[in-house]
Amino acid sequence: MNEFVETLLDLPWHEPKDSYDVVIIGGGGHGLATAYYLATRHGITDVAVVEASYIGSGNTGRNTTIIRANYGIAESVRFYQHSLELYRSLEEETGCWIMHSTKGLLWLAHTESGLRAERARSLLNQACGAETVMVTPEEAKRICPQLDLSGGGRYPVLGASYHPGAATARHDRVVWAYAQGAMRRGVDILQHTPVTGLLRDGGRVVGVQTEGGPITAGIVMSAVGGRVTTIAAMADVRLPIRTHPLQALVTNAYAQGLGPIVSDSELLCYVSQTARGQMLMGAEFDSQPSYSMASSFEFLQSVATKVTSILPFLRDLRVLRQWTGICDISPDYSPIMGATGVEGLLVTTGWGTWGFKAIPAGGEAMAELIATSQTPSLIASFGLDRFARDHAMADQGSAGTR
Amino acid sequence: MLWIICPTCGERPIPEFRFGGELPHVPDRITDDAERNLDWVWMHDNVDGVTTERWFHAAGCRRWLTLRRDTSTDRVVA
């Protein structure tokens, strides 16, 4: 089998029922993973995933597929390391090939302060179970021979942290693997079913309103990406979320040769090579919040300038495609998972530009929370109430953005 | 590209500006003082539509301005 062989998915579609134990809004990675783990880990299959478009059509289908755990606060390192390990065994568990490929990640630093931040991150990562080591410029060049250590004469590389466990996987296949696993066990996925309101009984959320009629539920969970504020507002829940566009691009295909994922903590850009050979690159999100998915020339210009300074061979490639997703960015750049203060409504949001790598651990933890009504210790620090308790989990440096 | 009309400098491209956030708007239904403060500090309307916000003309006159922008199209409306 090679990675371009497609096999027909086994997706049993059913007519929607008018009542479920659990209704999950949003058929992206997080929503489908939660449904999958509810079915497989907890035997809860009376579940519907309600998706406004088709599954994976939102941010999951638009992201840049990087899986890593080199975060800057202990709670996040543990959470993402667990996710990285779940990804590693996901093919075996689901029987679906998600094209998982461990590549390692170089995170370049160009200043003394950048180097110091990387060193602090490596020490914390090692203490919390994620392998990250500091490497000299020469060692970085051995790991990635295409690097220009002078950074085009403008951004000399002083060192880097190397995170060997980092990987990539095919994003659509991750969606399909979870959808198939969940549907085979009886979960209903309702595509092209936008949620227009939340059913409320007193202070409690008891279901969702759709164009096809109301669906009642014991628990409603929002796994919506950029439009999460709209869903929360239907239950008068206020979220500290701003929706920013995030752009990415791919070049034409090129012989396989770029080994690791190359990321830059100070230029704020990253490059990896897809299985098809395309160079996939991204940078920071647009500074102003917006729901517009228009691509911009400024992004193209800025990301091209940055990546060609550290990887000059990219100058010879052509841009094939550029696109935009809309991200739910939290004020402390950490996710928000769990209770909303409104009974019957749970939320998993704040996934910003770092949601793909968290899909397995996020889904598993939310499934456990739904099944047991107990918040798993892995995500206890990521509740919405942390802002009221003045325990924000500030970790902007690890988001690779600003 | 998003263009912004600066009252002092005229129509200028967005890379000259720094985004300063939407104007805080605490819903009237929140009456408790502590909750109002919490909302004012952290929460956002984050509307998909017209919003009122602050921008700083960092690479121009270095003044703050208030404008209305449609976030569904990323265009300034007033």
Nearest CA in chain B to A290: B71
Cβ–Cβ of A291/B48 closer than 8 Å?
A: yes
How far from each other are the two terminal CA atoms of chain B, in whole angstroms? 16
B46 chain-A contacts, CB cut-off 8 A:
229, 239, 241-243, 289
Cβ–Cβ of B44/A287 closer than 8 Å?
A: no
Q: Which of A241, A245, A298 shows the shortest C-beta gap to B46?
A: A241
Cβ–Cβ of B46/A238 closer than 8 Å?
A: no
Please give the backbone phi and psi of residue A215, each rounded to the nearest 5 degrees, phi first: -125, 120
Measured CA to CA, the distance from residue B46 to residue B44 in angstroms comes to: 5
Nearest chain A Cα distance for residue B11, angstroms: 17
Res. B1: pLDDT tops 80: no
b/e per residue A128-152 (b: at least 16 CB within 10 A): bebbbebbebeebbebbeebbeebe
Phi-psi region of A99 (alpha: psi -120 to 50; beta: other; left: phi over 0): left
A230 chain-B contacts, CB cut-off 8 A:
48
With tokens 């903590």, the residue in question is: A265
Cβ–Cβ of B72/A240 closer than 8 Å?
A: no
In contact, A53 and A189? CB cutoff 8 Å: no
**CB proximity B58 to A under 8 Å:** no
> Among residues A201, A185, A208, which one has the least CA distance to residue A25?
A208
Eight-class DSSP state of A197:
E
**CB proximity B42 to A under 8 Å:** yes
Per-run averaged pLDDT (10 residues), chain A, 402 residues: 64 93 97 98 97 95 95 96 97 94 96 95 96 97 97 95 96 96 97 96 96 96 96 96 96 93 93 94 92 92 95 95 96 96 97 95 98 96 95 87 61
Provide the whole-model pTM: 0.95
B34-63: average pLDDT: 96
Complex ipTM, two decimals? 0.94
Residue to mutate among A246, A291, A295, A328, with most B CBs inside 10 A, is A291
pLDDT at A1: 45
**CB proximity A227 to B under 8 Å:** yes
Measured CA to CA, the distance from residue A230 to residue A136 in angstroms comes to: 47
DSSP B32-72: -HHHHHHHHHH-----SSEEEEEEE-TTTT--EEEEEEETT
In contact, A83 and A141? CB cutoff 8 Å: no
B19 chain-A contacts, CB cut-off 8 A:
287-289
